Structure formats: C-alpha cells, structure tokens
Amino acid sequence: MLEEIELPKKKLSEDAVKVWWICEVIENVIAFIILAVLFYLDYRFSWKEWVGWILIGLAALFVPGLVWSAIEPKWKWKGWRYDVSEEFLMLKQGVWKEQQQLIPMTKIQSVATEQGPILRKYGLYTVKVETMASLHTIPALPRNVAFGLRNEIAQYAKIKEVEG
C-alpha cells in the first residue's frame, strides 16, 4: 500500500509578484510598440483592407490581455508551492488548472541557481532542476533559500560537484 504524500507547503517570495508584473509590463510595451508600428505601416502604405481588420482584431485582443497581465502575477504566486524530501522534489502550480509534480531524487541529474537582471533587483534566484527528460524551475526564491534548496536537492540526489 502506498503512503500518502502531502502537498508541498513552501511558498515563493512575495516579491515574485513584483518581478512577474515588471516582466508583463515589458512584454506589453513591446507588443504595443509592434502593434503601433504595424498600424502606422498599414496607414502609410495602404495595405489591403483585410490587413487593417486583422490589426483592429489584434488591438481588441490586446485590451483584455492588459487586464489579465495585471491580475495574473498575484494568482500565479498564490498557486505556487514547492517542497523537498529525501525521496522527492514536489512542485505545485496553477490556480485554475492545478499541476502537481513529484520528481524522484534518483532521477535528478543537476541542480543550479540562476538570476537575471529583474530578479537581481529584488535579490531573488530561480532554482533549475534537470532530469534526463525535462527541466523544472522553482522561481523567485530569496538568495539564502535558493542556495539552501539547491544544496539540499544536490545532497539528496547525490550530485557530485564537478571540478574543472
């Protein structure tokens, strides 16, 4: 009989919401600039009429996308949980469509931390866990938590540090 495995309980940093929101703003600004350039080119070169209608349709879809991008980071944060044991790395994400993953420690091949410029501003790191078949990430963890988790996973998965 299999024993019941508890759902993960550890949360990401609350600053994850700010990081994801900044990323959404950057993506929306880029999309707006591209859409504006396309509207200008349509006006300037008098493209076929159907091109203008497609651009209007894209602009209409852009507005709900803006609203969603303001809401999504908080929901994403609320749905993210992780935990680690000697046997498994447990991940849970999603609010509407919940996804739970159990990654056996015996399948983990490497574990690393990563930090981009926006994460750096908030002192956060992403932990990347690689198996033979896939890559799993635990985003937006404070430095001490990220490095502690990386070391704990490496110890449980019996990953040796390669000296070069």
Q: Please give the Cα distance from 83 to 81 (Å, whole number).
A: 7
Q: What is the mean pLDDT of the chain?
A: 93
Of the candidates 74, 67, 62, the one whose C-alpha atom is nearest the C-alpha of residue 18 is 74
Sheet strands (E) in the chain: 81-84, 88-93, 99-104, 108-114, 124-131, 135-142
Which residue has better confidence, 1 or 136? 136
- C-alpha 106/C-alpha 79 separation (Å) is 26
Q: What are the residue ranges spanned by the domains of the chain?
A: 16-77, 81-157
Q: Does residue 1 surpass a pLDDT of 80?
A: no
For residue 55, the Cα-to-chain-centroid distance in whole angstroms is: 29
In this prediction the pTM is 0.87
CA distances from 101 to 74, 85, 92, 127 (A): 21, 13, 6, 15
Confidence of residue 116 (pLDDT cuts 50, 70, 90): very high
Residue 163 has pLDDT above 60, yes or no: no
Q: Do 58 and 111 contact (CB within 8 A), yes or no?
A: no
Mean pLDDT of 135-161: 94
Lowest mean pLDDT among 9-18, 28-37, 89-98, 142-151: 89-98
- Could you give the percent of the chain with pLDDT greater than 90? 90
Q: Is the pLDDT of residue 115 over 70?
A: yes
Residues in the chain: 164
Tell me the CATH number for domain 81-157.
2.30.29.30
- Asked whether the predicted pLDDT for residue 134 surpasses 80, the reply is yes
Q: Which of 69-78, 100-109, 153-162 has the lowest mean pLDDT?
A: 153-162
With 0-12 / 13-18 / 19 or more C-beta atoms within 10 angstroms meaning exposed / middle / buried, residue 75 is middle
Q: What is the pLDDT of residues 48-84, one digit of tens each?
A: 999 999 999 999 999 999 999 999 999 999 999 999 9
Can you tell me the mean pLDDT for 12-26? 97
Q: Minimal CA–CA distance to 26: which of 96, 121, 126?
A: 121
